[in-house]
Structure 1
Amino acid sequence: MAPSFNSPKQELEQGICGQHGWSSRYFQDPSSRWCVEVRWGVGPRNGHVFVSDDVSDGASKAGVKKGHAAAAAVAIAGLRDIVHEANSKPTQTIEKAFGAQFDLTCFVMSGPEGWAKLWEMNPTEVFVDVEGNQVTPPVLVQVCVSGKQHDRSLCLLEVPNIHGLSDDMRRLLGDQSITKVFCDGTSGADRRSLGIDDSDNYVDLEDITSSLVGATGVNRGLARIMNLAWPNPAVRATKDTRDKESVLFFAAIEQGKKPRLKGLDEIPDRIRRYAAMDAWCTMMAYRGLRQQAQHEGLPMTE
């Protein structure tokens, strides 16, 4: 059953843009006509300004509401073919869409051997994800590093103990010459759990995507960012609902319902793989957005 919406703006925002991670921006042109710019990808080719005939007063709440509705109605009609194409794609979980590539190209390591390999790679940027971010230190930290050959990467997994992060992890996070890339949204919980503050050298995929594709009212999340970073004409990647098992596993630990982990061997193989793949997907999304930005001649951030 198709969802029902209370207004054209709600349909545009929730039914279209929210579903796909697209952005919308309302404004009045020099003739006072209400417009909305919708962007569905990186660069001017992947966006359009839809212009209504409505010239309602932008200084009044009622006028803004009416103007936004009018512009949204024009956009919905104008986007019909693009929305149909996007919605017609079969969906695949991130695991199904990218899992084989992850298994083939990413080496998952831990401990002194993993850290030795990471430092040998001499990274200038690393891709960080954490599990159990409501406690400090978090329950698990995943760090992905791209090799000199882009078809190879390393994902290092660390289980912090009750005393905190390892010396190597603290060295990495505190190194101002290494950019830490997160997909953490506006909450900043991942960074807070690691003790990273605003003065540290980090960027966030949510901010980068907003800079390139336009801001949204809610976080896009990694699956939608992956679709924007790697547009696939055949399929649309979605979050795997089985991730709930992983979330519940780490939540039980951070909430004190289960004891802290003593080692990676206490994490089921499938959950450990999901965690590593999250950091790897952060790297892949960043790589895809950077390639598109370079192709369009755009900076990664404004």
Structure 2
Amino acid sequence: MAPSFNSPKQELEQGICGQHGWSSSYFQAPSSRWCVEVRWGVGPRNGRVFVSDDVSDGASKAGVKKGHAAAATVAIAGLRDIVYAANSRQNLTIVEAFGAQFDHTCFVTSGLEGWAKLWEINPTEVFIDVEGNQVTPPVLVQVCVPFRVFGEQHDRSLCLLEVPNSSRARRDPGVSEDMNRLLGDPKITKVFCDGTSGADRRSLGVVDSDNYVDLEDIASSLVGATGVRRGLARIMNLAWPNPEVRVAKDTRDKQSVLFFAAIEQGKKPRPKELDEIPNRIRRYAAMDAWCTMTAYRGLRQQAQHEGLLMTD
């Protein structure tokens, strides 16, 4: 059954923009007519301003409400073909859309050997995801780093997995000395997809001086802000637009979510070693960090193509 909405503005923001990770911004033109700009991608080609005939008083709450509703009504009609095209794409989960590429290009590692390889790469940017971020220390930390292989056209990447252990740490999150060094190095940019909650960063004790950026903030700077966080899947669609495929969060696969949630809730013992986490769940977790890297690079490519500065 199709969802019902209380107003045209709610339909535009929740039923259209919220579903796809698009942004909407309302304003009054110099003529006092109410307008809304909707952006569905990076750059001026991927957006449009819809102008209504309403000139309600912008100084009153009732006037703003009426003006927003009028502008949203025009936008809904004007976006019909664009929304139809977006909804007609094949829905694939992140694993379905990018799993083969991840398996082919990403080397998953851990421990001292993994850290030695990471430091050999000498990264200036790393891409971090955290599982079990509602407890301290977190349950699992994933760090992805791109690197070049001589003679190959495309980059490969290394994804290091670490199970924090509070007994061996100087930092609160209980991570290894190598992880401490990485998180605290101001010369290395740490990229998260964390949103307003900041749960991943908080679980690792990352502060502003540790030099981090967030994909949610970058996406907002390029495509416009949204009322709720976009999430990694929607950001991937913005970073790598595909006329045939729309990437969606896998709502069917609850195994990974339930695994870490059970640990956070104390229903399952915390793993002490990486091999206590099933292979399938490790792969799923590693892909989150890899997708953070892939989305970041896609957004940067989109920004460069449009001549835009990518800011956080």
Q: TM-score, normalised by structure 1?
A: 0.98
* Larger CA deviation: 148-157 vs 197-206: 148-157
Q: Is residue 43 of structure 1 aligned with residue 43 of structure 2?
A: yes
- Name the residue aligned to 2:79: 79
Aligned equivalents of 2:32, 2:202: Cα separation in 1: 44
Matches within 5 A, 1:22-171: 22-149=22-149, 150-163=154-167, 164-171=174-181
2:289 is aligned with 1:283: no
Helix, strand or coil at the partner of 1:261? coil
Q: Which moved more, 1:131-140 or 1:255-264?
A: 255-264
Q: Report the counterpart of residue 11 of structure 1 in structure 2.
A: 11
Q: Report 1:212-227 matches (<5 A).
A: 212-227=222-237
1:244-259 to 2 correspondence within 5 Å? 244-259=254-269
* 1:186 aligned counterpart, secondary structure: helix
Report how far residue 242 of structure 1 moved: 3.9
1:38 CA drift (Å) = 0.2
Amino acid across the alignment from 1:113: E
CA distance in 2, matches of 1:293, 1:135: 36
Give the counterpart letter for 1:84 in structure 2.
Y
- After TM superposition, what 4+ stretches of structure 1 lie above 4 angstroms from structure 2? none
Q: 1:119-157 CA deviation, whole Å, 9 max, x = no partner?
A: 000000000000010112210000000112543000000
Counterpart-to-counterpart distance in 2, 1:232 and 1:151: 21
Alpha-carbon shift at residue 240 of structure 1 (Å): 1.1
Q: Matched residues in 1 for 2:70 and 2:242: separation? A: 32
Shift of the alpha carbon at 1:254? Answer: 2.0
Give 1:243 deviation, angstroms. Answer: 4.0
Aligned-partner residue type, residue 186 of structure 1? T
Q: Percent identity?
A: 86
**What is the identity, as a one-letter code, of the residue corresponding to 2:147?**
G
Report which stretch shifted further, 250-259 or 279-288: 250-259
Matched AA of 1:254: E
RMSD: 1.0
- Residue 217 of structure 2 aligns to a residue whose secondary structure is helix
1:262 is aligned to 272
Q: Which of residues 207, 220, 234 in structure 1 aligns to 2:217?
A: 207
- Counterpart amino acid of residue 130 in structure 1: V
Deviation track 1:208-241 (CA, whole Å, cap 9, x = no partner) reads: 0000000000000000000000001111011112
Deviates more, 1:133-142 or 1:238-247: 238-247
SS of match in other structure, 1:199 = helix
Q: 2 CA distance for matches of 1:180 and 1:242?
A: 30
Distance 1:29 1:135 in 2: 48
State the one-letter code of the partner of 1:81.
D
Q: Does the residue aligned with 1:42 lie in a helix, a strand or coil?
A: coil
Q: CA–CA distance in 1 between the matches of 2:63 and 2:148? A: 55
Gaps of 5+ in 2: 168-173
Aligned residues: 302
For residues 155-210 of structure 1, give each alpha carbon's deviation from its aligned partner in whole angstroms, at most 9, with x where no partner exists.
Answer: 00000113211000000000100000000000001000000012220000000000
The secondary structure found in structure 2 opposite 1:49 is strand
Alpha-carbon deviation of 1:255? 2.2
Q: Report the Cα distance in structure 1 between the residues aligned to 2:162 and 2:301, rounded to whole angstroms.
A: 30
The one-letter amino acid paired with 1:104 is H
